[in-house]
Amino acid sequence: MEPTARLAEALDRVTELERSIRSLQAEQLRRVRELRLLMRTVEAHPARTERDNREWADRACSAELATSLQVHERTATAMMHDASALVDLPATAEALAVGDVSLHHVRALIDAVGFVPRERATEFEQEAIEKARRMTTTGFRRALVRMQHRYRPTAAEARKRRALDERRLVIEPAHDGMTWVNLLCAAEEAVAIRARVASAVAVRQAGDVRTRPQREADAAVGLLLGRADAAAVPEPGDLGTVRATVHLVIPALTLLGHGAQPVMLENYGPIDTETARHLFAHVPSFRTILTDPVSGATLRYGRSTRRVPADLAAWLRIRDGRCRFPGCARPASESDLDHTVASEHDGCTDHDNLSALCRGHHRLKHHTGWRVWQRSDGTIRWHSPAGRWYDLPPDGLVRPLGRPGEDEAAERTG
């Protein structure tokens, strides 16, 4: 076979695989829809309103999907939304099932049709699907915007209002002691922020050897932290007016220069020893914990109190690092401390009966069929409404107190 013919055959195979993938995605969405309806049956509670039953069932379903597929719960919720939306968009569902359009086209159409008058939704869908069959996703999105203006002249304002609901701040650890700070906000606010930073770095100070991007980054950080002069070259460890408590876990021998264990920064991970020593000596808002031999935290309070004492709370958040629900990345410092066994059921206010749960997963535990156990080594074991098990050891900066497996036969019900 000549190279040109082989090339054509290879392209045909790739195209066939893409159509098969699209067909499987359509089937997956049908199954997601089925899962959502079944979860509403399983999670129905006679003491709750129908609306509350739907809300908690959907939250349980989202968590079930996310943990099983190893995706973020926002992704799982989006899948549930798409699956339900396709019930009212049969032509779109069929086009995906036969491989004529991609899932990206489908999601763009689902998003767009939500701003079209209900009585014109079918007409909008038919026109959009014909365009989707011959356009890239990028071109299709542009076409949808133009269509929206024809079907509903005020669509742009409605889209902006919904987009504003998605505003958020996301912190993503990078490499070598660095972190990305991502902010989704209104366009006019972003333009104003950019102008404010540009104004701060407009004049280069004498002796300043930083590049323009470096000066802009330093100015943005300085403005956020409330430094006296955001445009100036920042001093190492200068956190401006910030007084929030941040934990720094330092092995004692490392601090003295005789050990190789890493220094751990809360909500980030390992940092270099030089930075750690500076923070230890000069930044009082960083609470330093010297591990082995220095401890100092009280770890057991029995049943005499339900409120978690401050030193125990600090230790637990350092031990856990994150919300202890599978896949959740919410920092423990921003989470509740939950009694695995409730105090009204003789649960103790102890390190092995407390764990960090973000507010959403804390409520999920109490209102749905998700169940939890905890072992003395800090391992959390979750049981989902669908019968799946998930074991999560602590992911924080200090070692748990117990030994793995020492109390597997004595797990306690949450």
DSSP 224-252: HHT-S-TTSPPPTT--TT----EEEEEEH
- Cβ–Cβ under 8 Å, residues 201 and 216: yes
Per-residue pLDDT of the chain (414 residues; tens, 9 = 90+): 798 999 999 999 999 999 999 999 999 999 999 999 999 999 999 999 999 999 999 999 999 999 999 999 999 999 999 999 999 999 999 999 999 999 999 999 999 999 899 999 999 999 999 999 999 999 999 999 999 989 988 777 877 888 888 899 988 888 878 889 999 998 889 989 999 999 888 888 888 889 999 999 999 998 888 887 877 888 766 667 666 566 666 665 455 555 566 666 766 677 776 776 666 666 555 555 555 444 434 444 454 456 788 878 888 888 898 999 999 999 998 999 999 998 888 888 888 899 999 999 999 999 999 999 998 888 999 999 999 999 999 887 666 655 444 454 444 444
Q: Quote the CA–CA distance of 45 and 57 in Å, as a whole number.
A: 10
How many angstroms from the chain centroid is the CA of residue 39? 23
pLDDT digits (tens, 9 = 90+) for 180-218: 999 999 888 998 999 999 988 888 888 888 999 999 999
Burial 48-84 (b: 16+ CB within 10 A, else e): eeeeebbebbbbbbbbbbbbeeeeebeebbebbbbbb
Supply the pLDDT for residue 351.
84
Supply the pLDDT for residue 247.
65
- Cβ–Cβ under 8 Å, residues 339 and 349: yes
- The size of the chain, in residues, is 414
Q: Quote the CA–CA distance of 195 and 243 in Å, as a whole number.
A: 27
Supply the pLDDT for residue 17.
98
Supply the pLDDT for residue 125.
98
Tell me the whole-structure pTM to 2 decimals.
0.72
Q: Quote the CA–CA distance of 51 and 163 in Å, as a whole number.
A: 25
Query: Which DSSP letter does residue 263 get?
Result: E
Give ∠ CA 67-22-15 in degrees, rounded to 5.
130
Side-chain-side CA neighbours of 256 within 13 Å: the count stands at 9
